[in-house]
Amino acid sequence: EGKPAKLSGRRARREKELKKKMRTGTFESLGLSNPVLRAIKRQGYRLPTPIQRRTLPLILQGSDIIGMARTGSGKTAAFVIPMVEKWVILVLALVLVSLLTGTWHQATRPLCLARRLQSHSPKAGARAVLLSPTRELALQTHKAVRDLARYTDLRTAVLVGGDALEAQFAELANNPDVLVATPGRLLHHLAEVEGLGLRSVEYCVVDEADRMFEMGFAEQVREILGKMTDRRQTLLFSATLPSSLAEFASAGLTAPQLVRLDSER
């Protein structure tokens, strides 16, 4: 009978520690891995912005969220940092599998082996989809992913209108882990490229969602989400939350937590 009490005491202590860490509000206190912390430092980010401080712990623990904060508040890194962190954890898990299955000796570099294990899996496909309303915003998001994933081997493809389809076909043939896309061009590729699907997607972001809706992409976004499994984590970021968007979120997200910073300062 003494045991459960001891366990819950330990859990209480752990939770207290976690809360204390979150209060300190540094990137380090979130327990991010080294490749991610180094990339953040290299970007010159000293502390998380308010929206990052509020959303990062929730996203890291796997919750669906609606993140609302004004333009320029750092929403991009709020969803890119946890995405890269989840990738690093996955690679570590694959390395562990290789050790347990005795294929470790084949590795020249652990990360190469992890990559090989992953790409040989018949289920390999993009793990994350980041949707932007415009070509320019998608390119900005892609740059943020490249920057924050610079110390990992994460592979990305950008699928936006205005670029040659052939170059994008080539990128897709490379088995990218992350697709950064505008809805129209992504749907085009899904229709054209054989074997390209979204059932492997575990992490989906609808960024600049208010603009996405203003531009009339709601139906396309809905169609894209419909091609993913319900196991995915879905995040919606927006500067404003009109009722049409709130309705959309309650359909496309699972028990989303609303993180809203109203400071229009």
Footprint of ligand ADP (CB under 6 A): 45, 48-49, 52, 69, 71-77
Give min distance, CB of 262 to Mg ion, in A: 17
List the one residue out of 82, 71, 88, 86 whose CA is nearest residue 207: 71
Name which of 237 and 248 has its Cβ closer to Mg ion. 237
Name which of 33 and 200 has its Cβ closer to ligand ADP. 33
The set of residues, in sequence order, having a beta carbon less than 8 Å from that of 106 and lying 6+ positions away, is 98, 113
Site map for Mg ion, 42-81, x if CB under 5 A? ---------------------------------x------
Give min distance, CB of 235 to ligand ADP, in A: 13
The 10 Å CB-count burial string (b at 16+, else e) for 121-154 is eeeebbbbbbbbbbbebbbebbebbeebbebbbb
Give min distance, CB of 69 to ligand ADP, in A: 6
- 168: which DSSP letter? H
Residue 141 touches which member of ligand ADP, Mg ion, none, C-beta under 5-8 Å by kind: none
Give min distance, CB of 108 to Mg ion, in A: 39
Give min distance, CB of 79 to ligand ADP, in A: 9
Residue 54 touches which member of Mg ion, ligand ADP, none, C-beta under 5-8 Å by kind: none
Host H or E run for residue 18? helix 2-24
Name which of 13 and 143 has its Cβ closer to Mg ion. 143
List the one residue out of 141, 133, 148 whose CA is nearest residue 220: 133
Name which of 67 and 256 has its Cβ closer to Mg ion. 67
Residue 232 touches which member of Mg ion, ligand ADP, none, C-beta under 5-8 Å by kind: none
Instruction: Say which amino acid occupies 211.
Output: R
CA separation for the pair 158, 223 (Å, rounded) = 19
Residue 152 touches which member of ligand ADP, Mg ion, none, C-beta under 5-8 Å by kind: none
Instruction: Say which amino acid occupies 134.
Output: T
Q: Which two tokens stand for residue 248?
A: 């959309």
Residue with tokens 């205005």: 162
